[in-house]
Amino acid sequence: MTTIGVAPVAGIAMSMKPRAWCLAGLLWLVPVLHAAPPVPVGARGEVVLLDIKGGIGPATRDFVIHGLEKARDRNARAVVLRIDTPGGLDAATRDINQAILASDVPVIAWVAPEGARAASAGTYILYACHLAAMAPATALGAATPVSMGGPGPGPMPGAEPARKPEQPPPGTNGKPDANAKPDRHEPPDAMSRKAVNDAVAYLRSLAELRQRNAEFAEAAVRDAATLTATQAHAQGVIEILAADLPALLRQADGRRVRLAHREVVLAIAGQPVNKLEPDWRSRLLAVITEPTVAYLLLLVGLYGLVFEGYSPGAVLPGVVGAICLLMALYALQVLPVNYAGIALIALGVVLIAVEFAMPSFGALGIGGVVSLVVGSLIMFDTDVPGYGVPGRLVVGIGGASALVFMGMIWLAARARRQPVVTGVEELVGHTAVATRDFQWREFDGRGQVRIRGEDWQAVCDRPISRGQPVRVLALDGLVLRVAPMGEPAVQTRNGDPT
């Protein structure tokens, strides 16, 4: 057996090149670096504060996603989402959660100020954030999804479920089982159960990812369960109970959170907080995606185009109507709308406009008002808080349309009873002056008269001399039928009769 002594080994080591020594050193450092603890994130950054207020919709989604991008570009240490919402749209909530889960900056959900709530969609966002906190006197929960078309005929959350005849379960000897779970309020139809089960799986997956109370997550969806801030902290739904922002940063400091691809330790105590305000695009989107504003924009756009059609060249109604209609269509394509309702509204406006142009004794107008009201009622077919048109506004719009329609019918009927005061028909009964002789034998009783400065062809069954005043009896196309009134008119200096 051949052995290698110490001297040969030393010689070999001395003969190694410097590049080989560097390679060996790097190989020795690999396991050391791999076992190193996570480093603080955003060593020179700041804490970014984003406010989520009111219903969660397209504007909120746009604001939060852009806020997370700005925080990443600024190398922020953390983002604080201050939440106070009654809920919102499912699509917007899922987009926000996807942005949070993929964020390179830690996101802290904070239900604040005191008296705020993170209901429905707010609960989903809180579970998705890396840390969850609440201020005293706040609440969260009630995350049952509300499907399009409203709740079904079954029991509402909190109602007593239907029970079967009392039969003791096997093996209990008639005594209740202390370990049995409470009855669940199951949805009455298959579509509702599908939506609820999907929401339960989604919220439980977020709870398992953040290692929070998954049982409450399911109860919040199935039974619309809610918790106060103290209860949520005690049951492991949130990690921090903080009354103000400095207290939140102090308690979050030093905590380890897992981002998409790494773990970081928060170092945010005493750091400056920069509150991001919505830009003009987010503010404009928030205004036009308000359901009431989108509804009014749709009506103004339709009526503006109708008025432009009745008075071509007015320009202003057409321009305003086109702009409002395009803004309304943009808002409606991001809102949960029923397109049958939009079609009924458009049909109602068209029927009312056709009634004015082609009177049908009120049939078209009444049908238009009914179509407008029904379409307005079903336009936003959802019970999501904050996403619907108030019933009083719909009644007011329908009543105003009916009053305008009835007023136009009354004016039209009144105008039909009054004598004609404009146009060629108004010439009947007025006095004209013959500008040449009417000879029955030579001209078959035809001649020419002047009335209101215009020369008209006229016919009379008796001879009329030039300059003689005549009365207009009727209008046959472009020929006046006249009759003599008396003596000829006095001649003027230029020879024209007056």
The model's pLDDT over 299-331, given as tens digits with 9 standing for 90+, comes to: 999 888 888 887 777 788 889 999 999 999 888
**22 pLDDT more than 80:** no
Spatial CA neighbour of 271 closest among 47, 41, 76: 47
Helices H / strands E in the chain, number of each = 16, 16
Structure tokens of 119? Answer: 């209901």
**343 pLDDT more than 60:** yes
What gap in Å lies between CA 420 and CA 302, rounded to an integer? 33
What residues form DSSP beta bridges with 491? 497
Spatial CA neighbour of 133 closest among 237, 234, 214: 237
User: Are both 47-149+195-280 and 424-484 of the same fold?
Assistant: no
Indicate the average pLDDT of the chain: 77
Q: How many CB atoms lie within 10 A of CB 180?
A: 9
**pTM for the full predicted model:** 0.63
What residues form DSSP beta bridges with 428? none
DSSP sequence for 454-487: EEEEEE-SS-B-TT-EEEEEEEETTEEEEEE-SS
Say which residue, 123 or 36, is predicted with more confidence: 123
- Report the SS3 class of residue 429: coil
Cα diameter, the chain? 159
What gap in Å lies between CA 303 and CA 288, rounded to an integer? 18
What gap in Å lies between CA 295 and CA 375, rounded to an integer? 11
User: What are the tens digits of pLDDT across the range 263-303?
Assistant: 999 999 989 999 999 888 888 888 888 888 989 999 999 88
Reported CATH class of domain 47-149+195-280: alpha beta
- Report for 4-18, 27-41, 136-150, 299-313: range of highest mean pLDDT: 299-313
Integer angstrom CA distances of residue 225 from 183, 196, 222, 311, 330: 13, 14, 8, 58, 36
For 220-243, what is the mean pLDDT?
94
Give domain 424-484's CATH architecture: Beta Barrel (2.40)
Q: Which helix (H) or strand (E) holds 494?
A: none
Q: How confident is the model at residue 446 (pLDDT cuts 50, 70, 90)?
A: confident
Phi, psi of 472, rounded to the nearest 5 degrees: -80, 120
Domain boundaries, the chain: 47-149+195-280, 289-417, 424-484
Structure tokens of 67? Answer: 């806020």
- Residue 183 DSSP label: P
- Give the per-residue pLDDT at 128: 95
Q: How confident is the model at residue 338 (pLDDT cuts 50, 70, 90)?
A: confident
Percentage above 90 pLDDT, the chain: 34
What gap in Å lies between CA 58 and CA 56, rounded to an integer? 7
CB distance 449 to 433 below 8 Å: yes
Q: Is 423 left (phi over 0), alpha (psi -120 to 50) or beta?
A: left
What gap in Å lies between CA 4 and CA 11, rounded to an integer? 11
